[in-house]
Amino acid sequence: MTETLPPVLPTALPSSAPLERSLRKWSGWIGPVISIAILVAVLWQLRKIDWAQVWSIVPTSPWIWLVLAASYFAGPVADWVIFRKLWSIPLSGIFPLLKKLIGNELLLGYVGEVYFYDWARRHVKMEGSPFGAVKDVAILSALAGNIMTVMLLIFTWPIISKLGLGGADSSDGHVLATSIGVVLVTSLVIMFFRNGLLSLPRADLGFVFVVHTLRIVANTGLSALAWHLILPSVGMGSWLLFATVRLLLSRLPLIPNKDIAFAGISTLLVGSQVQTSDMIAMISLLIVATHVVLFIGLVLLDLVQKEKNA
């Protein structure tokens, strides 16, 4: 799941206080409005899903299901670990974090953070506002992704250069260089303005960054393992390299024709005879179906809890 890079701020960073005051002003509407918006998005996806096709491609191996489930829940579990340390949220806090994931995936990037901020403000007892912590966790997620992107680029450069994206005289080469520049500048801006931009203590910031980094590594490894279980004729090493390069291309901004590059990676690493595009499409369809079913289940759970508390 692709993370959105934070914007590059060339001069000064604006204060977050006006945004926080605005969120408080509309706090009574934030949660319900976002929940309704997610529900509309879920119903729209429900309309588009071919359930017969989903059923026909459902994996039969329990190991595939376990790996796919681990990959899906890696993000929410990592967030729960982070906010468990910061706020001591209960195990039930995983439910709003799942809504945060679904909101980010089916609506707009970071709308899930707004929803989770509203939930935390109403359900978590803490000193001060939760806005700073939610903001810091989102920023450090993007920073961890940026740093991993640069490291993966160094590691996979022999593969990237064979895709025609790194030629010094090609327009694609210039676009690749610009994309790398955006990632580096964005990361440097965060680091340079960290004292004014980040509010958590240094130890907490380090913990959050490490958890996000482990999440990225785990998702990459789990994706490779799932593909290997689905298509075992290709070695695990090739799938791991494939997952790494695919993650790199998904995070680099400004790269044109990513689908073409993805096809080139497939042919280069696992061979033209392997239908990787069909497999990726199958997993993507299963993920969307999971979003739909899981969110409907969470809505029903909320209704049951409200009925019990009434």
Query: C-alpha angle with apex 294: 40 to 222, nearest 5 degrees?
Result: 120
Q: Is the dihedral of CA 54, 106, 121, 73 positive or negative?
A: positive
pLDDT at residue 172, rounded to an integer: 57
Nearest to 29 by CA among 116, 118, 123: 118
Are 23 and 118 in contact by the 8 Å Cβ rule? The answer is yes
Contact assessment for residue 44 and residue 128, using Cβ atoms and an 8 Å cutoff: no
The ranges assigned to domains in the chain are 29-51+59-309
**What residues contact 152, with CB distance under 8 A and at least 6 apart?**
244, 245, 247, 248
Helix (H, G, I), strand (E, B) or coil at 26: coil
pTM for the predicted model, two decimal places: 0.80
The low-confidence residues of the chain, meaning pLDDT below 50, are 1-14, 166-169
The residue type found at 112 is G
Pairwise CA distance, residues 243 & 245, whole Å: 6
pLDDT at residue 69, as a whole number: 95
| Residue in 218, 222, 268, 265 with CA at minimum distance from that of residue 246 | 265
- Residue 111's nearest CA partner among 55, 56, 61, 41 is 41
pLDDT digits (tens, 9 = 90+) for 93-106: 999 999 999 988 88
For residue 12, the model assigns a pLDDT of 41
Contact 207/82 with Cβ under 8 angstroms? yes
Q: What are the residues whose beta carbons fall under 8 Å from the beta carbon of 125, sequence distance 6 or more?
A: none
Amino acid at 186: T
Question: Could you tell me if 227 and 238 are in contact, meaning their C-beta atoms sit under 8 angstroms apart?
Answer: no
Locus of tokens 């796919």: 68
